[in-house]
Chain A
Amino acid sequence: MQTIVDSSDGDLARAVAARGPEAAEAAEGELYRRFAPRVRLYGLRHLRDGDAARDLVQQVMLVTIERLRGGSVRDADQIASFVLGVSRTMVKDIRRRDWRRDQLRDAFVRPDLVEDPMREATLDADRLEMCLARLAERERMVVLLTFYAEKTAGEVGKELGVTEGNVRVIRHRAVERLRTCMTSREVGPRAVAPREVAE
């Protein structure tokens, strides 16, 4: 028997639009679980603010489900494109004016309907610190300038005196090494720190 989780995006959109008493609620929940993280990532990418990204999710999902209920989404199979389009429009609006943050928060999708699909994955901070320390100097500088200082490859290149292309290569390699280190149990040499000098 096909469950709601097995449904395609289009099937979910059609179930919401059909507004059957129980099926629609379950479909809304699954649609939210599926798309909210994607909208959040889009918001983080374009707004660089966690709170603003969360607000964007609420706004986009509200509009999406309203439009589905109202029958104004023409092609249910293109629901992903529809959600992206709404996201783009809303990010433009947010950039033009201050957002009224609290106005529509929690207005539509009941938080108890689904487990929070947007929660941050929690990394082992001690492990990540060790993995970061094990990177080569250039790799560590590039990932920190990228993720913390939010600099592009061109900006990082100017800072470190290397080409933009080199920065991309170093960045890619550094991220791969961090991922490998985070999932590995191996403990290897790390960057020089006074702690080791003291021991």
Chain B
Amino acid sequence: MTARCEAPIPEGTLLDYWARDLTDGVESARIEEHLFACGDCSARLHDLTALGSGLVALVRQGRVSGIVSRALLNRMQRDGIHVRMYSLAPGETVPCAVFPGDDLVVAALRADFSGVDAVTLSVTGPVHAPNGEINDVPVSRPDAEVLWATPAAVVRRMPSMRLQLTLASAGVAPAELGKYVLDHSASTSPA
């Protein structure tokens, strides 16, 4: 039986090691020496990788809700995930639906993000009551877009409805950047 670890690797360091963020080769080598000799720390790393594997499996099934980045979306499409994309400019109403074989439905919301670091996305449902907000969505470039993803399995269960989306800059004095409408038609055939 290996002895209990007297100098456990800090969680942050373990995470940095796994994510290849340790640029110091000596530090990486020291961690690997420890991991091979320490059952406790290698078990902790195993738990971390299990969490990562679980996340990868969810993404591969299109079970991702919320904002995604373009890089993440590109990677998903490269991996064969079927993405149904609706691109909207401010003021636009776009008819939308989900089709057999779709894994993920994404609304790409365009706007002028000049001078904006983060935005809030508000979603208003059929009765025009606020249904929710997604806050502090990072925006890295003026020509960026906000990609709002919903699993196709969720959209398939939705009745026909109109969803109003509003983007506003985040912060103490929010300014509206655009309003968009998704005119959703319910699925008529099983996927």
Interface on A for B, CB 8 Å cutoff? 5-9, 34-35, 37-38, 41-42, 44-45, 80-81, 83-84, 87-88, 120-121, 123, 125, 128-129, 132-133, 136-138, 140-141, 143-149, 151-154, 158-162, 164, 168, 171-172, 175-176, 178-179, 182, 190-198
Q: What are 16 A-B pairs with beta-carbon distances under 8 A?
A: A7-B1, A8-B2, A9-B37, A38-B36, A44-B49, A80-B36, A83-B36, A146-B19, A147-B52, A153-B19, A160-B69, A171-B19, A193-B154, A194-B155, A194-B163, A197-B158
Number of chain B residues close to chain A: CB under 8 A: 72
Shortest beta-carbon contacts, A-B, top 8:
A161-B140, A192-B132, A197-B125, A121-B50, A80-B37, A147-B52, A123-B54, A84-B36
Considering the chains assembled together, what is the distance between the CA atoms of A38 and B48 in angstroms?
13
Given contacts A45-B17, A141-B67, contact A149 B72 (CB under 8 A): yes
Chain B residues in 8 Å Cβ range of A153: 16, 19, 21
Closest to A195 in B: B154
Which one of B39-47, B86-94, B171-179 is at the interface? B39-47
Considering the chains assembled together, what is the distance between the CA atoms of A162 and B139 in angstroms?
10
Q: Is the CB of A144 within 8 A of B36?
A: no
Q: Is the CB of B134 within 8 A of A138?
A: no
Q: Is the CB of B117 within 8 A of A41?
A: no
Q: Is the CB of A148 within 8 A of B131?
A: no
B157 CB → nearest A CB, Å: 7
Chain A residues in 8 Å Cβ range of B12: 168, 172
Q: Is the CB of A41 within 8 A of B49?
A: yes
Chain A residues in 8 Å Cβ range of B184: 194
Q: Is the CB of A129 within 8 A of B58?
A: yes
Q: Is the CB of B67 within 8 A of A137?
A: yes
Residue B5 is within 8 A (CB to CB) of chain A in the complex: no
Chain A residues in 8 Å Cβ range of B191: none
Closest to B124 in A: A197
Chain A residues in 8 Å Cβ range of B18: 45
Return the CB mask of B89-104 against A: 1 if under 8 Å, else 0.
0000000000000000
Among A41, A83, A151, A153, residue most surrounded by chain B Cβ atoms (within 10 Å): A41
Considering the chains assembled together, what is the distance between the CA atoms of A38 and B57 in angstroms?
22
B27 CB → nearest A CB, Å: 14
Q: Is the CB of A84 within 8 A of B33?
A: yes
Considering the chains assembled together, what is the distance between the CA atoms of A31 and B141 in angstroms?
53
Q: Is the CB of B72 within 8 A of A9?
A: no
